[in-house]
Amino acid sequence: MKCIVCHRQAKGYGWFNTRRKRGDPQRYSDQWVFCSRRCQESFSKLMNKTEGQMIDPSDMEIAAMRACLAPLGEYVGEIGMQRPLADYSRDEVLMLIDVVVTAYQDCMVAEHERMAAKERAFFEERLARQGLATGKGVPF
Ligand SMILES: [Zn+2]
């Protein structure tokens, strides 16, 4: 099982939608598993703020793939831009994979955290406005 946020190995963290009744197939998903409390919390915040609606992951995945380009280019530049992949040693290939996977995972986690913060800011601003609206213009 892979963490739905960053795709690392999941480690026993899960989530279910308390807005759905028991027995509702949308209450649980076997894909809602996480590698860490960090990923679990970022997912939970996002799901709670969006009232259980899943965000489209493809934009995030595309952004995460794009985030891999610079570290990938840097690493390939370090070991020799002209060398064909077939000439890479096993360790060089493993390091290339590590560079790409780490960049991808970091971007996925950061993006989930950024979205959760954006949602939180939106709702806090909305609550603040409601407070202002009820706090002024009370006729007596
Ligand atoms: Zn994770």
Sequence spans of domains, the chain = 45-135
**Could you tell me the distance, in angstroms and rounded to a whole number, from the CA of residue 2 to the centre of ligand 1?**
8
pLDDT in 10s for each residue of the chain, 140 residues: 899 989 899 999 999 888 888 888 888 888 899 999 999 999 988 887 777 665 555 678 888 989 999 999 999 999 998 998 899 999 999 999 999 999 999 999 998 899 889 989 998 998 888 876 555 566 66
- Give burial (CB, 10 Å; 0-12/13-18/19+) of 45: middle
Cα separation, 35 vs 49, in Å, equals 21
Cα 41 to middle of ligand 1, angstroms: 10
Q: Is the dihedral of CA 78, 84, 88, 93 positive or negative?
A: positive
Supply the pTM of this predicted model. 0.51
Angstrom CA distances, 103 to 53, 81, 93, 123, stand at: 27, 20, 15, 30
Q: Rounded to 5 degrees, what are φ and ψ at 43?
A: -65, -45
pLDDT at 52: 67
Residues with Cβ–ion distance below 5 A, ligand 1: 3, 5-6, 8, 35, 39
Q: What is the pLDDT at residue 134?
A: 55
Question: Is the Cβ–Cβ distance between 39 and 13 less than 8 Å?
Answer: yes
